[in-house]
Amino acid sequence: MSLIQPRTLKGFRDLMPDQAMRRARLLRIVEDVFLAHGYGPIDSPILEYAEVIKGKSGGETNKELFEFTDKGGRAVALRNDLTVPLARYVAQHEGKLVFPFRRYHIGLVYRGERPQRGRAREFLQCDADLIGATGTAADAEALVTMAAVYEALDVGPITLRVNDRRVLNGLLDTFGARDKAVPVLRALDKREKLGDEVVRTEMTAAGLEAEAIERVLEACTPREDNDATLAALEVAVGDNELGRAGIEGLRAVQALFIASGRRPEALRFDPSIARGLDYYTGVVVEAQLDALPDIGSVGAGGRYDDLAGLYTKSTLPGVGFSIGITRLMDALEALGQEATAQSPSAVMITHPGEAALEPAFAFAAALRTEGIASEVYPQPKKHGQQMRYADRRGVPYVFTRNDDGSWHGKRMADGETGTFPDHAAAAAWIHAN
Amino acid sequence: MSLIQPRTLKGFRDLMPDQAMRRARLLRIVEDVFLAHGYGPIDSPILEYAEVIKGKSGGETNKELFEFTDKGGRAVALRNDLTVPLARYVAQHEGKLVFPFRRYHIGLVYRGERPQRGRAREFLQCDADLIGATGTAADAEALVTMAAVYEALDVGPITLRVNDRRVLNGLLDTFGARDKAVPVLRALDKREKLGDEVVRTEMTAAGLEAEAIERVLEACTPREDNDATLAALEVAVGDNELGRAGIEGLRAVQALFIASGRRPEALRFDPSIARGLDYYTGVVVEAQLDALPDIGSVGAGGRYDDLAGLYTKSTLPGVGFSIGITRLMDALEALGQEATAQSPSAVMITHPGEAALEPAFAFAAALRTEGIASEVYPQPKKHGQQMRYADRRGVPYVFTRNDDGSWHGKRMADGETGTFPDHAAAAAWIHAN
């Protein structure tokens, strides 16, 4: 019989044991921070009605979408984000949920046939949102939780670049150009990469006067500190109410961020931040690692006015953010943080043959009660082969039983050894390191 | 604009916040036990080449499979278990993995269009396997880990019903009927439900003599204790080598199970257990809850000779098991264990308005450093409405700031209150309960 080639689809990939262990550890830390801030989990199917995922019943195709007709004749699709499923979920269970509704959701999403080479078609999204609340507390909480996540992950100092959509909208109001917000934002979004000239050309094409363009560029420049940035924005928006509300919002959020004990420097007002042109309506945020600004944002979010308008008549405003788990995995690698070993075990126990397994199993079980992950080498092999196995899997300690019933321990990193009368002594040695 | 009906596909369901929280807690406990026993995670795509999932390149359709042609023209399918993807993974990465290879995998699998009403078409599978090892240590470790999982989950006493395929095969050998193992097993599998007469009829149809049938039925009956069961099997297989090897295996596994400190009564030899007729070749196991035997098995597994023969020329024997997370969720409900609250927060902090948010945020942050999950009520509302919100979400403690800067705490369960000068005093009160 000919073999089937073992392979994955283009854009889909396996996680090797060390990568999977690292991701599991990151996710657990992220979840712990979410839970500590009052966000609980939900779950929803990966496969949904295509009309739900597409946000319309029409037949328009979306090249990125994995869609098909199931064996019951239904038009179905793999979800391509967690926001649309959240909107559907909240609309469907509106009567059973308690609002303001906080949730986090860690789940796979699918985007196919994208032009970029090597991009993942299956990836893990990690979102936290608070639905049904407006105001400073809700906005601040999102930023506080985000900053707490990165702090817990131990990826070095980060910066949350924060803006409020109302500021630019208010500014555009002052010269009657509010309707040009989207093209103006789109132009501003390119500023960092392409420079002011390109932005001026685009804004002119959008119908903005030269003087207005200069006022926008002048206002939308981050200053030496947050106070200076807000002062410049205050001058720019004058007494426009919307603009002032945006500035007041930023100021209040900053106070709560600091009150929560987060690093004040981690919050930086940056009027050039746009994010999700049609979606966000208030505060917006983009997270970057100070050590690796070039890898791009490792998280983002903001406030929106109407989450689920396609599925319910209720208006549900919210604020939320995504943590970029894949980017963070890449960042840890780029920062040279050692990948974890293939094995979660702290201890491997060797044995000279099946007749000697009982004390080995008892020793492993006893070490586990001390919080030490332990495994017994799983088959009868020569001692050298057992030692090499522990080494290759990266197990840090190996124990072998002596004839008198005591245990010989070896620390693999430096070859240090010791003799221990029982598991308690062995555990104390390990814990002391 | 008309609304899109917010609904999930038949057989697919959302997890509500309390269900999702319970499942997340269960999964974390399961993962901790796996890790403590040396099993690390891996991950693999939910979508694969259809030929990989089907184990053949032919066009034969599988009614249960979600399969389709993607936009690149590839025949693809959603995986319907985690065993085939494991086989493909191990074959594909054989050179990079260290064998014996231990892994756990928690992931979604898909089975559609099944005749049973109300069955889930998307469900979470939770598997642990040790690949590339044979012998007693490997077999025992699977049973030890399984028992440790249920013990950690706190679902009451369980029984692992354990058998070894070699015993029945050896017994059939003694009267030259080894080739009838599959129909005989299939018949035995129905014994508990349908009784001996049905089994006799089926075995006769399979070509077994009347005397042989009685010997099989007599041997395959669990006795008052494991010693008696093994003794009866020893008589039945006589000096057949395969049968004796199976019995010796069971005896050795039992010794290691007890040496590991697991409850001896949790392991019960049951020669009527079949499981996976064509797949398993040695030890087989089925877990049931002593309090709820009728809900069926809450986990199962066994030893197999050749995991990945479709994808590689290497012969990879292994032993593994699945934990039935969905059944366990149902069981906890049936056992009357309270579903967890909608909120993960232990504390909610009220506030009289946006101007009073700073101390509230500082208090919440300080409680979190004491390991107490805390949230600030997220918008300006009346005090009564804030209290009702905490109550509906099931938050156990609510704190409100007094004018003098101290904190008024209320325990929601019994209405007990207290006044606390700072977060440390409040945390001590909470931890004392």
Out of B56, B89, B375, closest to residue A38 by CB:
B375
Confidence class for position A48, pLDDT limits 50, 70, 90: very high
Round to whole Å and give the CA distance between B290 and A308: 46
Q: Which residues of A touch B397 (CB under 8 A)?
A: none
Exposed e or buried b for every residue in B89-100, given b needs 16+ CB within 10 A? bbbbebeebbbb
Whether residue A173 is predicted with pLDDT greater than 80 in this model: the reply is yes
Comparing C-alpha atoms, which of B71, B327, B87 is closest to residue B79? Answer: B87
Instruction: Identify the band that residue B252 occupies on the pLDDT scale cut at 50, 70 and 90.
Output: very high
Task: Give Cβ neighbours of residue A380 (< 8 Å, ≥ 6 apart).
Answer: A351, A353, A354, B135, B137
Residue A84 scores a pLDDT above 60? yes
Which of A197, A158, A111 has its CA nearest to residue A321?
Answer: A158
Ranges of H-type helices in A154-225: 165-174, 181-189, 191-194, 196-205, 210-219
B139/A contact by beta carbon, under 8 A: no
The pLDDT of residue A321 is 97
Query: 10 Å Cβ neighbour count for A163?
Result: 29
Contact, A170 vs A244, CB < 8 A? yes
Does the pLDDT value for residue A343 go beyond 70? yes
pLDDT at A116: 66
Summarize pLDDT for A354-397 with one digit per residue, the tens.
999 999 999 999 999 999 999 999 999 999 999 999 999 999 99
For CA atoms B15, B20, B24, B26, give the dihedral sign.
Answer: negative
CB nearest to A44's CB, from B14, B36, B93? B14
Per-residue model confidence (pLDDT) at position B185: 86
**B360 contacts B401 by C-beta, under 8 angstroms:** yes
Chain segment A228-242, per-residue pLDDT in tens = 999 999 999 999 999
Across A192-220, average pLDDT: 92
State how far the Cα of B375 lies from the Cα of A34, in Å rounded to an integer: 11
- Tokens 């409020």 label which residue? A164
Quick check: B408 contacting A, CB < 8 Å?
no
What's chain B's average pLDDT?
93
pTM above 0.90, yes or no: yes
B8 in A contact zone (CB under 8 Å): yes
User: pLDDT tens for residues A381-393?
Assistant: 999 999 999 999 9
Q: What does the alpha-carbon distance between residue A61 and residue A65 come to, in Å, rounded to a whole number?
A: 8
DSSP character string of B127-155: EEEEES--SHHHHHHHHHHHHHHHHHHT-
Is residue A57 scored above 60 in pLDDT?
A: no
Q: B141-194 pLDDT, tens per residue?
A: 999 999 999 999 989 999 999 999 999 999 999 989 889 988 888 888 888 888
Q: Which residues of A touch B313 (CB under 8 A)?
A: 3
What are the structure tokens assigned to B392, written together? 């509906």
Chain A interface, best mutation among B1, B3, B4, by max A CB count within 10 A: B4
Residue of B nearest to A134 (CA): B379
Q: Does the CB of B141 have a partner CB in chain A at under 8 Å?
A: yes
Comparing CB atoms, the residue among B7, B343, B378 nearest residue A130 is B378
Q: Indicate the residue type of A70.
A: D
CB contact under 8 A, A392 and B100: no
B357-369 helix and B423-431 helix, angle to the nearest 10 degrees: 50
Strand order across the A407-411 sheet: A374-376, A347-349, A397-401, A407-411, A417-420
Query: What is the C-alpha separation between B63 and B121, in angstroms, rounded?
Result: 12
Q: What sign has the CA pseudo-torsion B417, B418, B424, B429?
A: negative
pLDDT of residue B17: 95
Q: Give CA–CA dist B230/B221, Å, rounded.
A: 10
> Under a CB-based contact definition with an 8 Å cutoff, are residues B407 and B399 in contact?
yes
Side-chain-side CA neighbours of A47 within 13 Å: the count stands at: 27
Query: Could you report the per-residue pLDDT of B303-314, keeping only the tens digit for each?
Result: 999 999 999 999
CA A276 to chain centre: 17
A69 phi and psi angles, rounded to 5 deg: -100, 125
- Would an 8 Å CB–CB cutoff place B431 in contact with chain A? no
Shortest distance between the Cα of A108 and any Cα of chain B, in A, equals 9
Question: Which residues in chain A touch residue B70, judged by CB atoms under 8 angstroms apart?
Answer: 9, 66, 112
For residue A122, give the nearest of B12, B47, B393 by CB distance.
B47
What string of DSSP letters covers B321-384? EEE-HHHHHHHHHHTTPPPPPS---SEEE--SSGGGHHHHHHHHHHHHHTT--EEE--S---HH
Mean pLDDT score, A3-17: 95
CB-nearest partner of A378 from B8, B112, B133: B133
Closest CA in chain B for residue A91: B6
Q: How confident is the model at residue B323 (pLDDT cuts 50, 70, 90)?
A: very high
Judged on CB neighbours under 10 Å (0-12, 13-18, 19+), B70 is middle
Is the confidence at residue B42, as pLDDT, over 60? yes
pLDDT greater than 80 at residue A277: no
Query: Residues of B with CB below 8 A from A119's CB?
Result: none
Phi, psi of A206 (to 5 degrees): -75, -5
Q: What is the ipTM of this complex?
A: 0.94
Chain A contact for B93 (CB, 8 A cutoff): yes
**A residues 180-239 lying closer than 8 A (beta carbon) to B:** none
Answer whether A117 touches B (CB < 8 Å). Answer: no
H or E element that contains A260: none
Using a CB–CB cutoff of 8 Å, tell me whether A348 touches chain B.
yes
Q: Judge whether B411 and B426 are in contact, CB under 8 Å.
A: no
- In chain A, residues 147-176 whose CB comes closer than 8 Å to chain B: 148
CA distance B104 to chain A (A): 10
- Across residues B390-419, what is the average pLDDT? 96
Indicate the pLDDT class of residue A79, thresholds 50, 70 and 90: very high
Cβ distance A344 to B45 less than 8 Å, yes or no, reads: no
Confidence of residue B19 (pLDDT cuts 50, 70, 90): very high
What is the rounded CA–CA span in Å between residue B281 and residue B242? 11
pLDDT at B1 over 90: no
DSSP string for residues in A88-157? HHHHHTTTTSPSSEEEEEEEEEE--S-SSTT--SEEEEEEEEEES--SHHHHHHHHHHHHHHHHHHT---
Q: Name the burial class of residue B72, with classes exposed (0-12), middle (13-18) and buried (19+) by CB atoms within 10 angstroms of its CB.
A: exposed
User: How far does B230 lie from chain A, in Å, by closest CA?
Assistant: 20
State yes or no: pLDDT of A118 exceeds 60: yes
A110 touches B at CB < 8 Å: yes
CB of B275 less than 8 A from some CB of A:
no
Give the residue from A375, A386, A391 with the most B CB atoms within 10 Å of its CB, the best one to mutate.
A375
Alpha helices, DSSP H only, in B164-264? 165-174, 181-188, 191-194, 196-205, 210-219, 226-237, 241-259
**B278 against A311, higher pLDDT:** A311
Residue B109: pLDDT over 70: yes
